[in-house]
Amino acid sequence: MPVVTLPDGGQRHFDHPVTVDEVAASIGPGLRKAALAGRVDGKLVDTSYVIDKDARLAIVTDKDAEGIEILRHSTAHLLAQAVKELFPQAQVTIGPVIEDGFYYDFAYERPFTPEDIAAIEARMRELAQADQKVSRRVMAREEAVGFFKGLGEHYKAEIIASIPAGEPISLYGQGDWVDLCRGPHVPSTGKLKAFKLTKVAGAYWRGDSRNEMLQRIYGTAWPDKKQLDDYLKRLEEAEKRDHRRIGRDLDLFHMQEEAPGAVFWHPKGWRVFQTLIGYMRERQREAGYEEVNAPELMDASLWQQSGHLEKFGENMFLTRTPDERLYAIKPMNCPGHVQIFKHGLRSYRELPVRLSEFGKVHRYEPSGALHGLMRVRAFTQDDAHLFITEDQITAESVAVTRLILEIYRDFGFDDVRIKFADRPPKRVGSDEVWDRAEEALKAASTAAGIEYSLNPGEGAFYGPKLEFVLRDAIGRDWQCGTLQVDFNLPGRLGAHYIDEHSQKRTPVMLHRAIFGSLERFFAILLEHHAGRLPAWLAPVQAVVMNITSPQADYVVHTMEVLKKQGFRIETDLRNEKVGFKIREHTLQRVPYLLVVGDKEVAANSLAVRTRGGKDLGTMSVEAFAERFRTELESRGRRTLED
């Protein structure tokens, strides 16, 4: 009879097979009430799962990340049940968990209206309050296909056909409704107490534009109402900070259908973009990088040799010339940098060689995945590749890690989490090589004194990596920088150097990005700062404005003086009240508003205000310039208000 070992090492002995629910009950009524699922010998199972032999068991509750995922997936099923009850002709397809929520795709004869969504959510609440028991059963494949076809659920029948042979076909039921799912699920619908439907969008079946257009209903679910309300407040704040809205309001950029996934930069936006590049160029030069530039269009055979064509071919833009030669627009910069490293004989004395590029790359993203600057088809990477010996991995990785964290601090990101992503299922190179690469990166992480969490199976196809995740002002996480150790690609592309014994050796390659995509980092910055970029980054750093027309010449002279010192300054000489001007430039998030009246002209001074509404008093043009220069040099860590 089973002995159940708990996470704390304690054991429960039973004289008969027991369910996860019964084990939870034997520990205490509170745990039984909180139990959503169990993890038996590492496998997630329902609370109804029967343990009939010795096993290790952890009870999963809504305090666990896995428990919240189960809540969300079960709420997706609740959504589908409500839709089927209210709209019996609708067909259900898939309903997975996504970040902070879930969605379910439906095939229906007409679009769902806001009134429909309200009715669906109300019915979901009724079904949750009914506390319907959730049960699981397993069917033979052909029986399951027939079952769903009999219900008119042809999409479900198609999904079953795509499930690998040998995998069990499990169905979950609640009330009179049954769905195909591998589970696990909550024990009953009464566990689902805090949820909200958020939006409806179109989605192609299986993500293929050649297939039918479905309707995707999105929702969110949380363990309790407080967490739900907090999330909805974050959503509201995120909407205010949406970089697309800010980009339009501040006249930074736009996008249009004729160039899907590509950016039309306006003067102010391009000014910020170039400031980002100039900043990174300076930091990289100080850190010993040499900037290069490789072609955007290269023969497809190079990408075949590197392995990218096989791995990423469906996301690459390919073109065939009249002489039938196949070319690819580069989706990444690595092979081009290897070609530069290979050009000429390299000695071990030259290593490390650190090559950087602000490389324009193109990747095909489905239309439905495009999202402002966050997800584009044409973008610029602050890519760098370090060619080193194996003995140099630790020192160079430590230096890269420190550089990344310093740079993020300059942009106002002090909360940075690091993840270690190991070998993915599809990869190049032997397990022995991967072992060496993973151990080398772990050793470097230890030497750098950083803590990391694991992100299993998410390494690059040629090597493990560290992922740097920024937490923004409203608590959202953004994965931006990466550091990857690569023992594979240099050898595949024939790179070598001559060692101290005059022998050819293959270098190790470190792939490194900090912004990642400059376009995406730009968007993250806009949302993190709500458009109020630090003064050193702002497209317009100050506006000089007059109160009445007699001060116009002084305003222009002041602007010219400050511009000559490298400041991004504009004037506002419109025949408007100064209060109107101040309000307008405050809405434009201009850091400093410099007001000039007759007294300021007479004293050769400026009345200085901030976009936050603080009056900094009157100071001479020279004093303002000196204090402002100090702020810019400190990258915003010290402001005039200090």
Catalytic residue among 268, 311, 362, 385: 385
The identity of residue 599, as a single letter, is K
User: Is 334 one of the catalytic residues?
Assistant: yes
Q: What is the pLDDT of residue 225?
A: 95
pLDDT tens-digit series, residues 223-269 = 999 999 999 998 899 899 999 999 999 999 999 999 999 999 999 99
Handedness of CA 207, 209, 214, 220 (dihedral sign): positive
Is pLDDT at 640 greater than 70 in this prediction? Answer: no
The Cα 374–Cα 363 span in angstroms is 13
Q: Is the pLDDT of residue 642 over 60?
A: no
Over residues 181-192, the pLDDT tens digits come to: 988 999 999 999
pLDDT at 337: 97
Considering the entire predicted model, what is its pTM?
0.81
Q: What does the alpha-carbon distance between residue 85 and residue 177 come to, in Å, rounded to a whole number?
A: 9
The active-site residue, picked from 174, 268, 334, 362, is: 334
Note if 383 is an active site residue.
Answer: yes
The arrangement of strands across the sheet holding 326-329 comes to 297-299, 326-329, 317-320
Contacts of 414 (CB under 8 A, 6+ apart): 408
Locate the DSSP E strands across 414-493: 416-421, 453-454, 465-471, 477-486
Q: Look at residue 375 in the predicted model and tell me its pLDDT.
A: 94
* From 383, 422, 472, 486, active-site residue: 383
What are the tens digits of pLDDT across the range 573-610? 999 999 999 999 999 999 999 999 999 999 999 999 99
Q: How far is CA 210 from the centre of its chain?
A: 28
465 catalytic, yes or no?
Answer: yes
* Pair of tokens at residue 22: 């019964």
Count other C-beta atoms under 10 Å from residue 452's C-beta. 18
Catalytic residue among 73, 511, 589, 609: 511
Q: Would the pLDDT of 638 be above 80? A: no
In Å, what is the CA distance from 95 to each residue of 112, 126, 178? 17, 20, 14
**Contacts for 430 with CB less than 8 Å, ≥ 6 apart:** none
For residue 409, what are the contacts with CB-CB under 8 A and spacing of at least 6? none
Under DSSP, the state recorded for 90 is P
pLDDT-derived band at 167 (thresholds 50, 70, 90) equals confident
State what percent of residues in the chain have pLDDT above 90.
76
528 is catalytic: no
For residue 198, is pLDDT > 60? yes
Q: Catalytic residue at 511? A: yes
Report the mean per-residue pLDDT for the chain: 92
Mean of pLDDT values over 142-153: 87
Q: Alpha-carbon distance 92 to 154, whole Å? A: 9
Question: Which of 156, 241, 363, 585 is an active site residue?
Answer: 363
The 10s digit of each residue's pLDDT in 32-86 is 999 999 999 999 999 999 999 999 999 999 999 999 999 999 999 999 999 999 9
Q: Which of 81, 91, 381, 588 is catalytic?
A: 381
Q: Alpha helix (H) ranges present in 368-452?
A: 393-410, 431-448
Contact criterion met (CB below 8 Å) for 316 and 331: yes
Q: Model confidence over 344-392: pLDDT tens digits?
A: 899 999 999 999 999 999 999 887 788 999 999 999 999 999 999 999 9
Contacts of residue 44, defined as CB under 8 A and 6 or more positions apart, other chains included, come to 37, 38, 60, 66, 70, 184
Instruction: Check if the beta carbon of residue 327 is closer than 8 Å to that of residue 318.
Output: yes
pLDDT digits (tens, 9 = 90+) for 309-356: 888 888 999 999 999 999 999 999 999 999 999 998 999 999 999 999
User: Angle at which helices 393-410 and 431-448 pack, to 10 degrees?
Assistant: 50
Angle at CA 383, nearest 5°, toward 272 and 303? 130
pLDDT of residue 426: 81
Q: What is the pLDDT of residues 529-541, one digit of tens each?
A: 999 999 999 999 9
* pLDDT higher than 70, residue 611: yes
User: How far is the C-alpha of 537 from the C-alpha of 515, rounded, in Å?
Assistant: 15
| DSSP class of 313 | G
Higher pLDDT, 157 or 264: 264
82 to 36, 127, 509, 544: CA distances (angstroms)? 22, 8, 53, 59
SS3 content of the chain, % helix, strand, coil (to 5): 40, 30, 35
DSSP H or E segment with residue 352: none
Exactly one of 375, 465, 568, 581 is catalytic; name it: 465
Confidence of residue 424 (pLDDT cuts 50, 70, 90): confident
- pLDDT, position 639: 63
Q: What is the pLDDT of residue 615?
A: 93
Strand partners, 290: 355
Q: How confident is the model at residue 302 (pLDDT cuts 50, 70, 90)?
A: very high
Query: In this predicted structure, what is the pLDDT of residue 636?
Result: 59
* Cβ contacts of 40 within 8 Å, gap of 6 or more: 20, 49, 51, 55, 56, 57
Residues 381 and 358: beta-carbon distance below 8 Å: yes
The per-residue pLDDT for range 482-523, each reduced to its tens digit, is 999 998 899 999 999 999 999 999 999 999 999 999 999 999
Burial category of 484 from C-beta neighbours within 10 Å (exposed 0-12, middle 13-18, buried 19 and up): buried
**What per-residue confidence (pLDDT) applies to 641?**
59
For residues 141 and 363, the model is more confident at 363
